[in-house]
Structure 1
Amino acid sequence: MPEPLIRPARPDDEAALARLDRESWSPLHEVRPEPPAPDEPFFHPTCGPDAHLVAEHDGRVVGYVRLGHPTGMPTNAHVLQIRGLAVAEEARGKGTGRVLVRAAVEEARRRGARRITLRVLGPNTVARTLYASEGFVVEGVLPGEFHVGGRYVDDVLMGRSLL
């Protein structure tokens, strides 16, 4: 699979993104106890298309990354956070996640952020390895922060400077 096209999300991507969210749900990376319901909206007033970059291959949505501020405080406005990343099964292991992470870093820079952070579940070693290979470092661990899939798992905080 050639490198996907990365573009800003559009309102008409909602159905494809919602489907991707349902199909990619797993307790390995999601703290929700079950997948989103089929009628659950993907976009929300505080997290609309402008918060998402989409990976597209042959006109089909195969991934997304969601960016937002970790808090609403003005003193934290210089930081953006990866608040979600999903890749369709057929696009996994082909560089789509890496391209999305790089696009998120560049978008954060474009928006004037000085730092980019994320949270990832401890057992999600594939994602943690990807983030580390893109310059993110572990900045903290909240042991046993979530009870997911019948076990307690760590919440790993990672970040990197954009300067």
Structure 2
Amino acid sequence: MPEPYIRTATPADEEALAHLDRATWSTLHAVTPRPEPPYPPFFDERHPAQDFLVAELAGRLVGYVRLARMIPLPAHAHVLTIQGFVVAEEARGLGLGRALIRAAVAEARARGARRLTLRVLGHNTPARKLYETEGFAVEGVLPGEFFLDGAYVDDVCMGRLL
């Protein structure tokens, strides 16, 4: 099995990432409605290519993680947030998700962050377990924050020091 290659996204990745995002959409991790045509651009002013780390396997994009600044204040400049994390169905179970999270931690450190945070749906057990094994801890729970597929789902806030 070839090793995954993780790098910063470029504008040329837009179509592949948009397709990956639509192909992996699920209420296990998404709170927005299922994407329908016409599709908006994947990259935009709030989601520039340089905020994404992408994973390639055998020359094909099979995952991404997005790092963002959630609060644009100098007092919060030391915190980055994972806001978007996807691994293609056919690439799951190969350690790609773990490699992306570790790359996000390294990138956050390189950008001068001291904390990395994320939000995950309470019913997304595989993602929660991955985050916990990578040093993230639950820092808060918003009970029943979302109504998905006929059920109320918790929004779990996690974070870790860098």
- Please give the TM-score of this superposition, normalised by the length of structure 2: 0.96
Partner of 1:25: 25
Q: 2:94 aligned with 1:70, yes or no?
A: no
Q: For each residue in 1:90-145, what CA deviation from the matched residue of structure 2 results, as whole angstroms up to 9, or x when unmatched?
A: 11111010000000000000000000000000000000000000000000000011
**Greater than 4 Å deviation, 4+ residue runs:** none
Partner of 1:150: 150
Q: For each residue in 1:15-51, what CA deviation from the matched residue of structure 2 results, as whole angstroms up to 9, or x when unmatched?
A: 0000000000000100012135463211111211110
CA–CA separation in structure 1 for the residues paired with 2:28 and 2:117 = 19
- Identity over the aligned pairs, expressed in percent? 64
Cα contact 2:2–2:58 (8 A) shared by 1? no
CA–CA separation in structure 2 for the residues paired with 1:26 and 1:39 = 17
Cα contact 2:82–2:118 (8 A) shared by 1? yes
Q: 2:135 aligned with 1:109, yes or no?
A: no
The residue matched to 1:141 in structure 2 has which SS? strand
Partner of 2:56: 56
Partner of 2:90: 90
> Cα RMSD over matched residues?
1.1
The residue matched to 1:61 in structure 2 has which SS? strand
Shift of 1:78: 0.5
Matches within 5 A, 1:104-143: 104-143=104-143
Which range moved further: 103-112 or 40-49? 40-49
The residue matched to 2:46 in structure 1 has which SS? coil
Q: For each residue in 1:71-91, what CA deviation from the matched residue of structure 2 results, as whole angstroms up to 9, or x when unmatched?
A: 122211100000000001111
**Count of aligned residue pairs for this structure pair:** 162
